[in-house]
């Protein structure tokens, strides 16, 4: 589980898992009974689900680091989580990324892949930074990740190249 990689960090104060009630019943008792793990019901889309999770935090400070990770990236490494957390000492937001290695074509024209990267999770934010971005774009559902919200809100998102494979196991 990628959850175990995050729980290994002693500085972790809380984990919020956004999950449907149907899927929650399939979780192990070890996860359900962990005092650091809390659950929030999923929203109608990814962005609403994340916003619900952000609003559910208790005792959070504006400068606290929030990491958002997709369960569809189960190969996240401890090392990559550590690097993104360390980057938050100097940044308001950061995301894992990786260079594109495939040939990309748009309208039958090859794109120069040296200028293109794939954005991944986890993504890290100061709590107030990500909360304000979500609130500003609450009615806009075209964002595919939270770093895009922060960029659209005028924020800088530090790009951290993943050192280990962090594939996405879905196609959407």
Q: Is the dihedral of CA 71, 130, 81, 36 positive or negative?
A: negative
- Tell me the pLDDT tens digit for each residue of 51-63: 999 999 988 999 9
Mean pLDDT of 141-148: 94
Using CA atoms, how far residue 8 sits from 12, 19, 31, in Å, is 8, 21, 14
* Average pLDDT of the residues of the chain: 92
| pTM metric for this prediction | 0.91
- Tell me the pLDDT tens digit for each residue of 74-96: 889 999 999 999 999 999 999 99
Mean pLDDT of 115-139: 96
Report whether 141 contacts 45 (CB < 8 A). yes
Residue 82: how many CA atoms within 13 Å on its side-chain side? 9
Mean pLDDT of 14-20: 92
């Amino acid at each position: 589980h990628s959850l175990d990689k995050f729980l290994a960090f002693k500085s972790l104060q809380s984990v919020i898992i956004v999950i449907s009630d149907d899927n929650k019943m399939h979780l192990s008792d070890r996860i359900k009974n962990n005092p650091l793990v809390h659950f929030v019901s999923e929203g109608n889309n990814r962005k609403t689900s994340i916003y619900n999770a952000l609003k559910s935090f208790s005792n959070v400070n504006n400068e606290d680091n929030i990491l958002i990770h997709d369960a569809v990236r189960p190969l996240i490494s401890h090392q990559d989580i550590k690097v993104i957390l360390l980057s938050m000492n100097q940044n308001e937001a950061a995301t894992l990324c990786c260079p594109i290695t495939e040939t990309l074509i748009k309208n039958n024209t090859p794109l120069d892949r040296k200028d293109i990267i794939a954005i991944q999770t986890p993504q890290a934010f100061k709590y107030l930074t990500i909360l304000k971005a979500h609130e500003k774009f609450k009615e806009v559902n075209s964002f595919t990740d939270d770093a895009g919200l922060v960029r659209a809100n005028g924020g800088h998102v530090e790009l951290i190249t993943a050192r280990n494979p962090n594939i996405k196991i879905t196609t959407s």
